[in-house]
Structure 1
Amino acid sequence: MKKIGLSILMGVLLHTLVWGQKKLTEGTVYYDIVINTNNSKPSVPAMMDGATTVVYLKGSSSRSDFVSSLGSQSTIIDGKTGNVTILKDYGTQKFMSSLSQTEWKNINKRYDNPTYTIENEFKTIATYNCQKAIGKLSDGTTFTVYFTKDLVPVNTEFQNIARNLPGLAMEYEAVQGKTKITYTVSNVDFGAVPLSKFDLPQSGYRVIPYTELMKSKK
């Protein structure tokens, strides 16, 4: 009887754990951005303070819209082909780059296979219980991520820095020189995402090829 009772209890706990998680196959994730810099002079990163990133997920496709006072940048990943389109809109200057899956991975190779040390530290972000993890890149750079196991993205390509975590990154940091940029989820909307979000412009943008894009990053 004790064995039967234990089996039933384990089954209930497993059922609760599984049903407590939600597979994030479609929805919109809103991130607020805070810039921390020791530079007293205004800079481009500092002027990004108060910007937002909105991520649209639909199956294996995603669109990330970064919006600041300077302009906007969108990264659209085609889930069927793996191809990526980057749109930059800064006033009268509009640029578009179309990248293959291989080219996109090469641009982001710094973030390939980050490792994590998951710590016993928690906090609530946008009503979700989140656990702390310390990430480490291949070049030795470390960063902090808070993730929730309650939301498990089916598509992890939109978030290179947190791809190997067992849940959605609710807060994470990126470092550019002496500037630390913190992204924190303010809301998760599970409503349907229209296919039109993944439509690409047919005109109005100057096309920047991959080779020219790589030169600008050096």
Structure 2
Amino acid sequence: MFRYLLLIAMALITSNVAEAQKVLSEGTIVYDITVQTGSKEPQLADMFDGVTTTIYLKGSQSRTEMISPLGSTITFQDARNNTGAVLKEYGNQKLLIHMTRQDWADLNKKYAGITFTPQNETKTIAGYKCQKAVARLKDGTTFTVFYTKELMTENKDYDYQFKSLPGLPLEYESAVGDLKVKYTASKIAFDPVPVQKFSIPVSGYRELTYQESIKLKRN
């Protein structure tokens, strides 16, 4: 009898968790970006303040836009075959970088083996209760992330660094050179996303392979 009651209790708990957790299979997430720097050129950080990153999701497809006064980077990825492209527009330079499964793996290799250690601190972001976690990379680098268990995405591959996070990241840190960048979710919408959002341009860009883009960056 005790075992029977225990099974019922576990089923009820599982049911309540499933009901409380929404799945974002299609919609939009907007992150506000703030930058801090200890350099002698604070205007560089000021230039990025107020910039946003927008993520569009539709099934296995994702589009991530980061647009700043300096230019824009738009990333397309299809989780079904793990292929896609990256568009970069800075000044007169317009690049279309084709990405294969192996290219994504190389681009995200620093996040391989990342671990997340939950902390006791919580706060509400964009209407969702979030828990703090400390992320640790294999090189020992750490950063802070606040994530919610109330919302999950159907596509877990849209952001490789958070693929193993047990929830949706709504605030996290990133380092870009001497700059410390913070992403904070300001809007989460479940509205349909037009399929055209995931169409990769076929003209107007200089097309490169991922390896060619690496060589270009080094030159």
So what's the TM-score if we normalise by structure 2?
0.91
Structure 2 vs 1, CA of residues 43 and 3 (structure 1 numbering), >3 Å: closer, same or farther? same
Q: Report if the CA contact (8 A) 1:37-1:180 is conserved.
A: yes
Whether the 8 Å contact between 1:107 and 1:214 is mirrored in structure 2 is: no
1:113·1:164 contact (CA, 8 Å) conserved in 2?
no
Identity percentage over the alignment?
43
Within 5 A, what are the aligned runs for 1:202-213? 202-213=202-213
1:77 aligned partner: 77
SS at match of 1:191: coil
Aligned partner of 2:167: which letter? G
Gap regions ≥5 residues in structure 2: none
Give the structure 1 partner of residue 39 of structure 2: 39
Q: Which runs of 5+ in 1 are unaligned?
A: none
State how 1:101-116 maps to structure 2 within 5 Å. 101-116=101-116
Which residue of 2 is the match for residue 131 of structure 1?
131
Q: Residues 30-81 of structure 1, C-alpha deviation per residue, up to 9 Å, x if partnerless?
A: 0000001011315655522221100011111100000111121100002332
Q: CA deviation at 1:9?
A: 5.3
* 1:167-213 C-alpha deviation (Å, 9 max, x unpaired): 11000110123211000100100011111011111111111322222
Cα pair 1:33 1:53 within 8 Å, conserved: yes
Tell me whether 128-137 or 34-43 shows the greater mean CA deviation. 34-43
2:162·2:169 contact (CA, 8 Å) conserved in 1? Answer: yes
Letter in 2 for 1:19: E
- Range moving further from structure 2, 54-63 or 80-89: 80-89
Q: CA deviation at 1:10?
A: 4.9
Deviation string 1:69-116 (CA, Å, 9 cap, x unpaired) is 112110000233211200012243211100111112112111113111
> Does 2:198 align with 1:198?
yes
The 2-side partners of 1:111 and 1:43 are apart by 30
Q: Number of aligned residue pairs: give it.
A: 218
Higher deviation after alignment, 106-115 or 120-129: 106-115
Structure 2 CA distance for aligned equivalents of residues 89 and 192 of structure 1 = 27
Q: What amino acid maps onto 2:20 in structure 1?
A: G
Match of 1:211, SS? helix
Structural RMSD (CA): 2.1
Q: Is the 8 A contact 2:79 2:158 kept in 1?
A: no
Residues 53-92 of structure 1 mapped to structure 2, 5 A cutoff: 53-92=53-92
Query: What's the TM-score once normalised by structure 1's chain length?
Result: 0.91
Match of 1:146 in 2: 146
- Residue of structure 1 equivalent to 2:187: 187
Change (3 A) 1:206 1:18: same
